Amino acid sequence: MAWHSHGATNAGLVEALAKNAVVRSPLVRGAMAAVDRGHFVRGGSDPYYDAPSAIGFGATISAPHMHAHCLELLQDKLTPGARVLDVGSGTGIMLAYFAAACSLAAASAAAPAATAAEPRFAVAGIEHVDELTQWSKVNLAKDPATKALLASGDISVVTGDGRLGLPDKAPFDVIHVGAASPSRPDALIAQLATGGRLIAPVGTDSQSLTAFDKGADGSVTVTELMGVQYVPLTSLDLQHAPRTFLA
């Protein structure tokens, strides 16, 4: 049913995802409703159709149901002070979703005694195609809320090798990888905070969406969730080979 979660508008898309039980939690529903997918696709693609679409440079924006699945898997970690890393941030849409979820979590947890000194969330993206880095900033600036978060630094995007993560900003409570790592992404797992969760597709010809959870003793629990097909997490010079992808 997930692949049939189409809408004529962003609100219609989110409603279809909820009707098909892809979106289940109020937090994910609120975050996806707050971010217009239409700001993050190339011209000529229907942003509210539940399918991936090309964004250039051998990359795609994943289908809405895959974004929803990943958000649901991470929603309990998207807390008011969460530190989040999106690897292969592409269009910037997951950065917007993560920021919206953390903002909603903060609003629901607000108490009369809350102060500005309380920790703010930090959502960082890393993308190795600089043209996509710059385009994602343009996309994020289309909405006043995310534009303000870019200006404040609560959302940041840099160009770099996502396979190495962002060690200078680690540890992270949430790491999302938008491309398939050929093997266990140990460099990224090392940047998880205690209690943190990493969601990544892992594999080459056969890929599995996989969760890595770091325990209090530093141990890592690995859970294979479902078969997927994503663009590969690879070097910049190999990024441009033509391929067909479903994610």
Q: Note if 62 is an active site residue.
A: yes
Angle between helices 93-109 and 130-140 (to 10 degrees): 40
What counts of helices (H) and strands (E) characterise the chain?
7, 9
How many whole angstroms separate alpha carbon 188 and alpha carbon 148? 28
Quote the DSSP letter at residue 232: B
Strand 220-228 relative to strand 207-214, pairing: antiparallel
The residues near 142 (Cβ < 8 Å, ≥ 6 apart) are 36, 39
From 25, 45, 53, 62, active-site residue: 62
How far are the Cα atoms of 55, 57, 58, 123 from residue 241, in angstroms, in the given order?
14, 9, 6, 30
Contact criterion met (CB below 8 Å) for 247 and 88: no
Enzyme catalytic residues? 62
